[in-house]
Amino acid sequence: MIGLDLFSPPTLTPSRIRLAYGVAVAADGLQMILGPLGWVLADQIVDVIAGVVTWRLLGFHPLLLPTFAVEFLPIIDMLPTWTGCVALVISRRKKQQAVSPHDVDDGKVIDIDAKRVE
């Protein structure tokens, strides 16, 4: 299904991580330059672009939604919320994508019936 592909997280690569941090830092920097009240719709356009690009780079994550919503509040959008959100999403994605040695199926299965030994 095409619709489900939009929500599946892509594999994190160093270039995706660098690009996501770059987008987040650029968005937060632009919003600091624009000031607490910003220009008419400029802050919102920056937020929409940052949200969409971050979503495409890191995949959808629920943390993107409150970050996007908080950015519409004056003064609070001066905080580096995109950078913080990207850092949290990347750390959670790395934990999800980490494969422990116990998770690897090497084809060997031990199948026994449990019996009580007295």
**What confidence tens digit (pLDDT) does each residue in 12-39 have?**
899 999 999 999 999 999 988 887 666 7
What average pLDDT score do residues 67-75 get? 78
pLDDT score, position 24 = 95
Alpha carbon separation from 80 to 22, 24, 40, 86, 103 (Å, rounded) = 12, 8, 20, 10, 36
Q: What is the predicted pLDDT for the residue at 27?
A: 92
What pLDDT shows up at residue 8?
75
The percentage of residues in the chain with a pLDDT greater than 90, rounded to a whole number, is 31
C-alpha–C-alpha distance, residues 21 and 86, integer Å:
7
Among candidates 51, 63, 59, which has minimal Cα distance to 10? 59
